Structure 1
Amino acid sequence: MSENPLFRGLNRPGSLNPEDMNDLEKKHTPVITAPDKVSRGERFEVVVETGVYMRHPNEYGHHFSWIELYLDDVPVGRVYLQPVIAAPRAVFRLNAAEDYVGKRKLVARAFCNLHGTWVSEKSIDIE
């Protein structure tokens, strides 16, 4: 029996438009909610959740184990999730540091115990 290469490495949806995603992508792609623009030194919130486009199971046999966030390549944090108890959602509070002024990228990763790690990105301007 061969292993499915889809679930190794980082998985990304074939399209950013939910209408063009297949059911697997809709269930697993992390969705980032954050402002498009913040001022340097400003505190802001980033919410990452899965199952937004189509509900994902949250049971012992099939669930998200963690969600993590990066600003460019710098890790911001990781939230561990428990099946059944915790919704696949994480809230991160950031401070737009002066060294990060300019066009930046928020990168979210979410790990499904059956279907691997899924990634999405959102641009943010720090002025």
Structure 2
Amino acid sequence: MSIGTMYQSGDWKGEKHVPVIHAPESAKKGEEIEVKVLVGEQIPHPNTLEHYIAWIKVYFKADEGKFPVEIATISFAAHGESEILTNPFGVVRFKVPASGSIIAASYCNIHGLWENSAAIAVTE
């Protein structure tokens, strides 16, 4: 079995586990962009001690690239400690080298792996 077959996707407006990506649709080559990722924008994820998002990962894959590059891992490690319940939200910035896709993956401790992607066009 391949781990790729374990990732689930869907319409983030109708599914509370799909990571939502807020990123520009275009940028200039080498320009720093800001990417916001979160889970549960339209339908909030429960975020209880029993049911929570443990992490979100952000990748970039250039259209001409061989494989995606991991940009960030946002871990919600303190979830439940001292009655702290975390919201799965993060912001990352990076210089975009070429046109490609921003990919976000998240992990729910009950419902497993989820993914989403957003294209970005890069001009000279």
CA-to-aligned-CA distance 1:15-57 (integer Å, 9 cap, x gap): x473xx4xxxx21011000000011121111001011120111
Distance 1:94 1:78, change over 3 A: same
TM-score (ref. length: structure 2): 0.80
SS in 2 for 1:65: strand
Q: 2:57 aligns with which of 68, 80, 87?
A: 68
Q: Shift of residue 85 of structure 1? A: 3.3
Aligned-pair identity (%): 29
Matches of 1:76 and 1:113, distance apart in 2: 22
Aligned to 1:87: 87
| Structure 1 or 2: more helix by fraction | 1
Separation in 1 of the partners of 2:42 and 2:75? 22
Kindly report structure 1 stretches of 4+ aligned residues shifted beyond 6 Å.
none
Partners of 2:56 and 2:73 within 8 A in 1: yes
- CA 1:29–1:107 in structure 2 vs 1: closer, same or farther (change >3 Å)? same
Aligned pair 1:10/2:10, yes or no?
Answer: no
Query: How far apart, CA to CA, are the structure 1 residues paired with 2:12 and 2:20?
Result: 12
The alignment's C-alpha RMSD in Å is 1.6
Question: What is the identity, as a one-letter code, of the residue corresponding to 2:87?
Answer: A
User: Unaligned stretches of 5+ in structure 1?
Assistant: 1-7
User: Quick check: 2:49–2:85 contact (8 Å CA) kept in 1?
Assistant: no
Q: Give the conservation status (yes or no) of the 8 Å contact 2:56–2:107.
A: yes
The amino acid of 1:78's aligned partner reads T
Residue 107 (structure 2) pairs with residue 111 (structure 1): yes
Tell me the alpha carbon deviations over residues 37-83 of structure 1, each in whole angstroms, 9 at most, x when there is no partner.
01112111100101112011111110000000010111111000143
